[in-house]
Structure 1
């Protein structure tokens, strides 16, 4: 089943765990995917630099196989006191409903990206992936000099061409079907909503580096389809949310089990940046709100989401999921990797 990408990484199957962030960012899941012959990737964007180092050490204690780490590129954002005040006032209603303390404005809204990246450099995983834009050639080369393969995320051809020109080793082509945050960094939200079937062959034709297909891939048929379109590997995220090793809350898990394909929507409600997830009360009530810039809402809603998970209140959770959500089933990560790998024909 080996191809250029799998040989370069030393993995058995061209199956990649899409980086799951927040509560779903479990080291056991990353290690289980790698142990099963795929490539587990840790969604580390919300972790402190110290926690990233700890998490990578945990993964290495669970597997001697290659794995990757994902971070969000730094974004330009501005504080708007008026927007924040309105957002906090509305958020306070939910805090009161759950019996939580008043909303507190955190001292910082995001982690220090350069410090996060420094930890990744120190620990040198097999792959580093980045989302939301341009890592810059200097950082890319620094990672490559440590033996790390660097993959950028594109949602349209022009983004892929831009990333290839930076010198990345691979491009994750994220179709519109994918769950969680969109990687779009050029143009509008809709510019980056190209479906996987249309996106993959166009990106493959436009760049010379391996393309990792993402979005709507949940079984062997999806893997076979993206291979036929020219992808060098298939990435899946939503299907792994129900894996035994995934540490999501019971409320999130139950919502996924009940979900249908038409129930995902695009929202900025929880984080201030467009993402796909299962529609719930919070998303509906914030659908037309004038939100502060990402990552401000993400930091402000974190205590609510954590409390809601413990209380079993799915209406206040960011239920990130892609359009293939109804195809996910409870089983082990190894079983998921095995089923997906059946779709890849020998090259």
Structure 2
């Protein structure tokens, strides 16, 4: 059967369908457990959470499912040297964004406090709680961390945006590799070179990696239907990860306006921008992203830019200035149909099955 792959065997799941783990408070326990209980692998993006918050989330997931699930962290969670920037650099960012703050009638925020990385403390919780699957982005954990995961029986999944990154992940000994194409919504998880140098499409990247890498590969980016899953499996993927389609469901923790935007005409137009977080990410095109397309050098590094822009985002939401917000979403959004996660899972499974049965009967 199409759903019996190396990925399902390694992960202990019925279907090779992974729900993308959304960071920035977009994940929910309800979504994770709905997908896992339906035979896929639910995923929770935890990179913004404190260690105690990760413990609490893990307890809630375990209480709602006895199936495998995934907790996702960011290996590199800051681009700021010593966690901060100079006063001069911050003043340039203030000047650049001042017209938008003025338009909303809010003051410019003060310089963010120096950021302290959370990854080491977060991963300590992973090793203590032992979730079935630990996935990560923006790099590779240390050899010691990966060895501890192996010893504890935690399956590891790393994300690659280029063939070189996939080779690094394979050398590190991860169990599975995500081939993250540039069609995907959210941040580009590049870690060897700039994200701008990693704009390879999912199906090209998948084939490049399969040619050189023996580790099972998960295709991600631009997949939201059974046909998309079938295409990925036909090209050699061992599983497919679906992000935007699950982000748009009632069970995700995205705001209602975010979900409405993903089902709207606006979803036809997405863009890659650093303007909102300091790292390159894809979302529905916004006025700020368009206006500041060539001003990247003046943005603050991640996550200081996120902290700076959070003030603008809150005011824009209150005033319903939707063109000043980047709503995360992938290029596949215009074909989304399902608003319930269980219905979406049913459709993904049945449509993939139908596709392969038609091929068999030809």
Matched residue SS, 2:263: helix
Looking at structure 1, the residues matched to 44 and 315 of structure 2 have their Cα atoms a distance apart, in angstroms, of: 24
Offset, 1:322: 0.7
**Counterpart selection for 1:71 from 73, 77, 92:** 73
The yes-or-no answer on 1:334 pairing with 2:342 is yes
The yes-or-no answer on 1:216 pairing with 2:222 is yes
How big is each residue's C-alpha offset from its partner over 1:67-96, in whole Å with a ceiling of 9 and x where there is no partner?
A: 101111125532233222222344454445
Looking at structure 2, the residues matched to 7 and 97 of structure 1 have their Cα atoms a distance apart, in angstroms, of: 54
Look up the match of 1:185. 191
Structure-2 change in CA distance of 1:292 and 1:159 (3 Å):
same
Which segment is superposed worse, 27-36 or 160-169? Answer: 27-36
Looking at structure 1, the residues matched to 29 and 95 of structure 2 have their Cα atoms a distance apart, in angstroms, of: 36
Look up the match of 2:130. 124
Q: Is the 8 A contact 1:156 1:192 kept in 2?
A: yes
Look up the match of 1:145. 151
Offset, 1:144: 2.0
Looking at structure 1, the residues matched to 324 and 226 of structure 2 have their Cα atoms a distance apart, in angstroms, of: 33
Written as runs of structure 1 = structure 2, the 5 A alignment for 1:40-119 is 40-74=42-76, 75-78=78-81, 79-100=85-106, 102-109=108-115, 111-119=117-125
Matched residue SS, 2:312: helix
Which segment is superposed worse, 135-144 or 124-133? Answer: 135-144
Q: Which runs of 5+ in 1 are unaligned?
A: none
Q: Is the 8 A contact 2:90 2:111 kept in 1?
A: no
**TM-score in terms of structure 2 length:** 0.89
**Counterpart selection for 2:14 from 12, 15, 38:** 12
Which segment is superposed worse, 303-312 or 159-168? Answer: 303-312
Alignment RMSD: 2.1
Matched residue SS, 1:234: strand
**Counterpart selection for 2:200 from 194, 206, 209:** 194
Look up the match of 2:300. 292
Looking at structure 1, the residues matched to 10 and 140 of structure 2 have their Cα atoms a distance apart, in angstroms, of: 24
Looking at structure 2, the residues matched to 108 and 48 of structure 1 have their Cα atoms a distance apart, in angstroms, of: 17
Looking at structure 1, the residues matched to 112 and 80 of structure 2 have their Cα atoms a distance apart, in angstroms, of: 16
Q: Is the 8 A contact 2:34 2:341 kept in 1?
A: yes
Looking at structure 2, the residues matched to 35 and 296 of structure 1 have their Cα atoms a distance apart, in angstroms, of: 37
Offset, 1:247: 2.0
Structure-2 change in CA distance of 1:309 and 1:139 (3 Å):
farther
**Counterpart selection for 2:31 from 24, 29, 32:** 29
Q: Is the 8 A contact 1:255 1:314 kept in 2?
A: no
**TM-score in terms of structure 1 length:** 0.93
Written as runs of structure 1 = structure 2, the 5 A alignment for 1:308-323 is 308-323=316-331
Structure-2 change in CA distance of 1:261 and 1:254 (3 Å):
closer
The yes-or-no answer on 1:251 pairing with 2:257 is yes
Look up the match of 2:270. 264
Q: Is the 8 A contact 1:244 1:330 kept in 2?
A: no
Looking at structure 2, the residues matched to 141 and 63 of structure 1 have their Cα atoms a distance apart, in angstroms, of: 27
Structure-2 change in CA distance of 1:305 and 1:61 (3 Å):
farther
Q: Is the 8 A contact 1:26 1:246 kept in 2?
A: yes
Q: Which runs of 5+ in 2 are unaligned?
A: none
Matched residue SS, 2:174: coil
Aligned length: 347
